Amino acid sequence: MTDPAILRIAIPSPLRRLFDYLYPAELGPLPEAGCRVLVPFGRRQLVGIVIGQASSSEVPTDKLKPIAALLDCEPLLSQNLLELGSWAASYYQHPIGDALSSLLPVLLRRGEPLPSNAEPAWQLTTRGKGLPESALSRAPRQQQVLQQLQLRTASRSHFQQLGISSTILRQLEQKGLIEQIELAPEASVDHSNLLAEPSLPLYPEQQQALEQIQLSGFHSYLLDGTTGSGKTEVYLQLIEQVVRKGRQALVMIPEISLTPQTLQRFTSRFNCPVAVIHSGLTDRERALAWDQARTGRAAIVLGTRSAIFTPLKNPGLLIVDEEHDSSFKQQEGFRYSARDLAVWRAQSEQIPLILGSATPSLESLYNCQQQRYTRLVLSSRAGASQQPAWQTVDVRQHRLSSGFSRELFDAMQTQLDDGNQVLVFLNRRGFAPTLSCHQCGWIANCHRCEARLTVHRQINRLICHHCEFQQTVPTRCSQCHSVQLQCVGQGTERSEETLAALFPDFPVIRVDRDTTRRKQAMQEIVAKIHSGEPCILVGTQMLAKGHHFPNVTLVAILDADAGLFSADFRAAEKMGQLITQVAGRAGRGKKPGMVILQSQHCEHPLISTLIHQSYSEFCEMLLTERRLAQLPPFRYMALLRAEARNMTDAENFLAYARQLAEQQVSPNPDISYLGPLPAPMEKRSGRFRQQFSITCRERPRLQQLMSWLCPQLEASSLGKKVRWSVDIDPQDM
């Protein structure tokens, strides 16, 4: 009798290792790597992923447990993806089983079978067919569904994309007008009829960019194109070429920009299935989209961060749009950067990678300087529209009334009177960031965080934006009982109120997390803006990204100074990106645009370079600073964070971490240690926070050190008293 085979299995657990199991012969032929199995683990059964066969195990064979069941007859994850996941786990110092498990959609992590490919769809019942056109005119959404179904049967996801909720569909079902059916998966792409609309004739710069991009083999390109320069058109034409070759394109976009508008640009260009992968999907929808990509039925896959792990049958192109966006970095647990993994993935799949942005990250610009990436520049806006003109208002010399200078007010009035729209940017939601007592100077602070409570007036609450603590707005000072409490500073809610009073003839539309919480809210707002009527938009960075509002001619930036004096070394870079992106909303139509920036530091070299020269020169300045300070991208960084109910526990743990690290590699010109130091927000949710950073000239050396250090820290008793984490290439300090 031959010995049973030993399989190495990845299991979702905090342990940083793989586990060996026996594979009983009665389960059939040995599964390939990438199949799921059910295994006993402690007292539970867990879903694991087969990594490969082991010739022997450290555990004696008679102690090894057998696999309980084989869940897949073909691998769900390709060898490439398993390698990507394993590399990411080791690079980001995350337990491998947990990392690999997170490559699967939740449904599959739970051990459920792949959902059926047949898509649920809706058709008219006989009764529905008999209805006159004018029926249901009082329920326009329902009528829209019926009109759609008169033309042809449509899938549930089609209605989702149109923004029609399942409630509406169910109402129609209850009325006996429509019924559910299962639609067979769509056939493969029809190449003769791939384009649903003609592609645009390219402008010279677009054409040049397109010609420089090699569609065979691996290479990274940075498509550095100002806002509105037509990057998306370049993507679309590249995708067309790739799909014609029978290959797939994976397009990564930031969390916030996955709007129906973005999706529509892809679906209206191509007559081929587009799978969409993001966090708003149900588990089933997500697994379905994932499987469409895996089996090659979806020629185009559009997704947010986690979509970087989507299996692709015939990968041909990887695009990361708005590559500078911080949502590509996961901020908890498995702290990977989808943008950085895209480089790894494109290389292992031997396909081109396009990183696109109007405000590229310093990392990517530096990679271009190092000739690791090829930089392709689109310097002018597509079509008639021009880059906006800038104007600064020094708020130390001009009186502000509720945050608005006279200059700004007049400029707004002129634009509105001319029938244009104005966008006011203020990256702070709520009514006011501070509530204070006029008598004694008391300030309403969060008792759990080192932070002030934000006044939200419409709901009459004080809210901590860091730990979600809430209370009713007090009527008296908690220290001297005076009733003279005042709101200090501006939030979007207050600006909305001010603007409504200053410009009574024009609607004011506020866009922030509070006004867009409801599901369809953002879409309704966008529709209102697209109607083109003169109005004032006031909002946070939600307004900055990706939107194309052709009637906005004036963008006002109320407070540009937040990023200038921050402890976070990336703050200035982020400020520059945000200002440039917001400014890019101005003058995207036929009329010229203008940007007015209010600042206390108009002559600050960073601000003046950004607005009088260019984002690119601004970045040159920052790169020089980073080089001198020996910070990323010139160095690679790992940040250890620790938090505890008392400060010394957190500090002691990190001091121990530093001691260990220094024993292993003593400080030298190539590696430096900083900390433990209090985190920029020292206390949060009732815990004290400390951090310790390691910067190193070479990536592999840092990785080596961290791979040695992390298991030691995990084993240490000091570590049990604190919550700690390690963040490689941290985005936020």
Residue 225 binding: pick among ligand ADP, Zn ion, none (C-beta 5-8 Å cut-off by kind): ligand ADP
What are the beta bridge partners of residue 41?
44
Q: 199 or 369, CB closer to ligand ADP? A: 199
Q: Which helix (H) or strand (E) holds 413?
A: helix 406-417
Interface with ligand ADP, residue 229, by CB under 6 A: yes
> Phi and psi of 217, rounded to 5°?
80, 175
Residue 442 binding: pick among Zn ion, ligand ADP, none (C-beta 5-8 Å cut-off by kind): Zn ion
Residue 437 binding: pick among ligand ADP, Zn ion, none (C-beta 5-8 Å cut-off by kind): Zn ion
Select from 142, 150, 228 the least CA-distant residue to 580: 228
Binding-site string for ligand ADP from residue 545 to residue 564, where x marks contact by CB under 6 A and - marks none: ---x----------------
User: What single letter denotes the amino acid at residue 453?
Assistant: L
Q: Report, in Å, the least distance between residue 582 CB and ligand ADP.
A: 13
Q: Report, in Å, the least distance between residue 537 CB and ligand ADP.
A: 18
What are the beta bridge partners of residue 554?
422, 594
Interface with ligand ADP, residue 203, by CB under 6 A: yes
Q: 267 or 695, CB closer to ligand ADP? A: 267
Q: 141 or 448, CB closer to Zn ion? A: 448
Interface with ligand ADP, residue 355, by CB under 6 A: no
Is 477 annotated in a binding site? The answer is yes
Select from 195, 238, 263 the least CA-distant residue to 353: 238
What are the beta bridge partners of residue 5?
23
# binding residues, ligand ADP (CB under 6 A): 16
> Phi and psi of 239, rounded to 5°?
-60, -40
Interface with ligand ADP, residue 256, by CB under 6 A: no
Q: Report, in Å, the least distance between residue 333 CB and ligand ADP.
A: 31
- Cα dihedral sign for 98, 102, 106, 110? negative
Interface with ligand ADP, residue 206, by CB under 6 A: yes
User: What single letter denotes the amino acid at residue 700?
Assistant: P
DSSP reduced 3-state for 331:
coil
Q: Report, in Å, the least distance between residue 260 CB and ligand ADP.
A: 15
Is 464 annotated in a binding site? The answer is yes
Interface with ligand ADP, residue 382, by CB under 6 A: yes
DSSP code per residue over 210-274: HHH---SS-EEEEEEE-TTSSHHHHHHHHHHHHHHTT-EEEEE--GGG--HHHHHHHHTTBSS-E
Residue 446 binding: pick among ligand ADP, Zn ion, none (C-beta 5-8 Å cut-off by kind): Zn ion
* CA-based radius of gyration for the chain: 28
CB 99 within 8 A of CB 338: no
Is 272 annotated in a binding site? The answer is no
Residue 482 binding: pick among Zn ion, ligand ADP, none (C-beta 5-8 Å cut-off by kind): Zn ion
CB 353 within 8 A of CB 364: no
Residue 440 binding: pick among Zn ion, ligand ADP, none (C-beta 5-8 Å cut-off by kind): Zn ion
> Which two tokens mark 387?
């880059």
Residue 439 binding: pick among ligand ADP, Zn ion, none (C-beta 5-8 Å cut-off by kind): Zn ion
Interface with ligand ADP, residue 220, by CB under 6 A: no
Separation CA 351–CA 348 (nearest Å)? 8
Residue 572 binding: pick among Zn ion, ligand ADP, none (C-beta 5-8 Å cut-off by kind): none
Residue 97 binding: pick among ligand ADP, Zn ion, none (C-beta 5-8 Å cut-off by kind): none
Interface with ligand ADP, residue 357, by CB under 6 A: no
Interface with ligand ADP, residue 622, by CB under 6 A: no
HSE, CB side, 13 Å, CA atoms: give it for residue 492: 25
Q: Considering only residues 16, 36, 231, 683, which one is a binding residue for ligand ADP as defined by CB under 6 A?
A: 231
Separation CA 434–CA 428 (nearest Å)? 12
Q: Report, in Å, the least distance between residue 576 CB and ligand ADP.
A: 17
Is 602 annotated in a binding site? The answer is no
CB 210 within 8 A of CB 238: yes
Q: Which helix (H) or strand (E) holds 7?
A: strand 5-10
CB 118 within 8 A of CB 180: no
Separation CA 344–CA 351 (nearest Å)? 10
Separation CA 567–CA 732 (nearest Å)? 10
Is 480 annotated in a binding site? The answer is yes
Q: Which helix (H) or strand (E) holds 391?
A: strand 389-394
Site residues (vs Zn ion, CB under 5 A)? 437, 439-440, 442, 446, 448-449, 464, 466-467, 469, 477, 479-480, 482
Residue 203 binding: pick among ligand ADP, Zn ion, none (C-beta 5-8 Å cut-off by kind): ligand ADP
Separation CA 225–CA 221 (nearest Å)? 12
Q: Report, in Å, the least distance between residue 226 CB and ligand ADP.
A: 7
Q: Report, in Å, the least distance between residue 190 CB and Zn ion.
A: 55
Is 437 annotated in a binding site? The answer is yes
> Phi and psi of 361, rounded to 5°?
-70, 155
> Which two tokens mark 308?
């970087």
Using alpha carbons, list the distances in angstroms from residue 18 to 9, 15, 39, 42, 136: 6, 8, 13, 15, 59
Q: 11 or 319, CB closer to ligand ADP? A: 319
Q: Report, in Å, the least distance between residue 563 CB and ligand ADP.
A: 23
Q: 127 or 476, CB closer to Zn ion? A: 476
Q: Considering only residues 225, 534, 587, 730, which one is a binding residue for ligand ADP as defined by CB under 6 A?
A: 225
Q: Report, in Å, the least distance between residue 79 CB and ligand ADP.
A: 35
Separation CA 305–CA 644 (nearest Å)? 30
Separation CA 318–CA 349 (nearest Å)? 10
Report residue 104 CA to chain centroid gap.
19
Tell which positions 663-702 bind ligand ADP, by CB under 6 A. Answer: none
Interface with ligand ADP, residue 233, by CB under 6 A: yes
CB 375 within 8 A of CB 229: no
Q: Report, in Å, the least distance between residue 651 CB and ligand ADP.
A: 46
Residue 479 binding: pick among ligand ADP, Zn ion, none (C-beta 5-8 Å cut-off by kind): Zn ion
Residue 230 binding: pick among Zn ion, ligand ADP, none (C-beta 5-8 Å cut-off by kind): ligand ADP
> Which two tokens mark 614?
């260019």
Q: 395 or 423, CB closer to ligand ADP? A: 423
Q: Report, in Å, the least distance between residue 455 CB and Zn ion.
A: 14
Residue 466 binding: pick among Zn ion, ligand ADP, none (C-beta 5-8 Å cut-off by kind): Zn ion
Q: 588 or 626, CB closer to ligand ADP? A: 588
Interface with ligand ADP, residue 325, by CB under 6 A: no
> Residue 601: exposed, middle, or buried by beta-carbon count in 10 A (0-12, 13-18, 19+)?
middle
Strand order of the sheet with strand 154-155? 154-155, 119-124, 178-183
Q: Considering only residues 38, 54, 200, 263, which one is a binding residue for ligand ADP as defined by CB under 6 A?
A: 200
CB 75 within 8 A of CB 32: yes
Q: 227 or 454, CB closer to ligand ADP? A: 227
Q: Report, in Å, the least distance between residue 486 CB and Zn ion.
A: 11
Q: 358 or 602, CB closer to ligand ADP? A: 358
Is 35 annotated in a binding site? The answer is no
Residue 449 binding: pick among ligand ADP, Zn ion, none (C-beta 5-8 Å cut-off by kind): Zn ion
Is 449 annotated in a binding site? The answer is yes
Separation CA 648–CA 653 (nearest Å)? 8
Using alpha carbons, list the distances in angstroms from residue 164 to 154, 167, 176, 523: 12, 8, 18, 12
HSE, CB side, 13 Å, CA atoms: give it for residue 312: 30
Q: Which helix (H) or strand (E) holds 707?
A: helix 699-715
Tell which positions 1-20 bind ligand ADP, by CB under 6 A. Answer: none
Q: 25 or 480, CB closer to Zn ion? A: 480
Binding residues: 437, 440, 446, 449, 464, 467, 477, 480
Known binding site for Zn(2+): residues? 437, 440, 446, 449, 464, 467, 477, 480
Q: Which residues bind ligand ADP (CB under 6 A)?
A: 200-203, 206, 225, 227-233, 382-383, 548
